[in-house]
Structure 1
């Protein structure tokens, strides 16, 4: 007679993995899409430079450039509109597209990505921003370094920035054309870039577009804000007429202190 206490029980007929085989899969998410005013509904844009900002210091600085005009927005259906203001705000979960004319007759477009983009949606968003309605001559992507992706030790009190380039951008630099950030070192070998930044750079590589990805550390604090500001003004926005709101640095410092306080409270 079997010992019901010591014998190994038979495998369960109701394993979670087996039950999931019979569950109805969730409906696919609607595709992201661009919205432009009716006058530009069929227009294609060909800016001399497309700047896509995702890091906190780049978002904050570019948001406060007042000499820009909203021309469109990218809608990610899973991101709710509730809580967003009528006028563009850094507190909104939005992705607005702006134009900024430079003195040489070219045009600059600025995209402020103010909501998280999951890895599964990154390539769809990158495809919308580069190569369909917007066909730039050059692209600059601004993101922050994630400590988990960096091969080496990152000091919270150290302010650094690195770059990655598409093969066409590096090739043009080799033959004498000035790169966007010629003073920056390349991102260390073995370190990783993922998410939307990686999808955008890959998109530029496939489309054979000159592109630079600039990643900075840390994401908060006045030193990194100053570094990103200097890099933009001396390189990407050199010779471009612009005006910046007077109190943007004070607002950034206040926001940095609030964020640091929240982060420290989570671990106390």
Structure 2
């Protein structure tokens, strides 16, 4: 009589590749693509600075710069366009591209107003940097994720750190001015992932001066003041631009509404 405890079990009736036959294959998503106005559809853009905003304070501040001109958009096919307004709005799920100076497109601004899945991050980054848009310098504005930060983060504490590509850091080490001057470097052991990481690594590979500015928390008047100060003092110095006067009040309402929703979750 066979010993069912010690005898070698019989081989499975299914091979691994056979088991996959019972799992429906996921449909391949269409590639993301850029759409520009007809007058600029064949143009290669070479801005002196490309600002890519993903954090709430940077999106809110840059959205209210009224002197920018909409020139294109990045379409991610899995993001539905239903419900978007005809005019650019912070409530839209969109990724619009603007020129701050329409004469020579010296500064371009990208407002990423939807979440990009990790597996799509590199495809989006390739479109924004190095193909149709070839910037001399890139600034990425994102928020710190508490799960990626080595240390404790208090919701009452407002902080920001930076990461730079080797070329950007070499510029500051040789005595030339870095893009963001007043921030400490992101603490060792902390992590950046998603689209921000894909953009910064893309800059590194293409030898573009790149800086990632990550701020905490994502909402609140103090972090808005911090991000605004960095942009006005370090980035937009010497640039002619105008800002809508009501952006601070609108951001305060957004922060209060978000705080109320979060507090309701724990009552």
- Smaller-chain TM-score bracket: over 0.9
Could you tell me how far apart the structure 2 residues matched to 1:70 and 1:102 are? 9
Question: Unpaired runs of 5+ in structure 2?
Answer: 1-9
Matches of 1:263 and 1:19, distance apart in 2 = 43
Structure 1 residue 177: Cα displacement? 1.1
> How far apart are residue 199 of structure 1 and its match?
0.1
Q: Which residue of 2 aligns with 1:3?
A: none
Distance in 2, matches of 1:13 and 1:260, equals 55
Which deviates further from its counterpart, 201-210 or 94-103? 94-103
Question: How many residues get paired?
Answer: 261
Supply the distance in 2 between the matched residues of 1:232 and 1:88 (Cα, whole angstroms).
21
Mapped partners of 1:66, 1:218: distance in 2: 26
Separation in structure 2 between the aligned mates of residue 13 and residue 263 of structure 1, nearest angstrom: 51
State the partner residue of 2:32.
32
1:101 aligned counterpart, secondary structure: coil
3-state SS of the aligned residue for 1:131? coil
In the alignment, the residues of structure 2 paired with residue 34 and residue 102 of structure 1 have an alpha-carbon distance, to the nearest angstrom, of: 19
CA RMSD of aligned residues (A): 2.3
The offset of 1:37, in angstroms, is 1.1
In the other structure, the counterpart of 2:3 is: none
In the alignment, what sits opposite 2:95? 95
1:18, distance to aligned residue in structure 2 (A)? 6.9
Q: What's 2:165 paired with?
A: 166
Q: What is the CA-CA distance between 1:237 and the residue it aligns to?
A: 0.5
Q: Which residue of 1 aligns with 2:112?
A: 113
Please, what TM-score do these two structures have when normalized by structure 1?
0.92
- What is aligned with 1:194? 193
Query: Match of 2:78, SS?
Result: coil
TM-score calculated relative to the size of structure 2: 0.92
For residues 34-183 of structure 1, the aligned pairs below 5 Å read 34-101=34-101, 107-183=106-182
2:5 maps to none
Alignment partner, residue 257 of structure 1: 256
Please, which runs of 5 or more residues in structure 1 have no aligned partner?
Answer: 1-9
Paired residue for 1:204?
203
- Distance in 1 (CA, whole Å) between partners of 2:202 and 2:70 is 24
Q: Does the 8 A contact of 1:102 with 1:241 survive in 2?
A: no
What per-residue deviation string (whole Å, max 9, x for no partner) do you get for residues 225-266 of structure 1?
000000000011011111111111000000111111112212
Q: Within 2, Cα distance between the matches of 1:120 and 1:107?
A: 31
The more displaced of 216-225 and 235-244 is 235-244
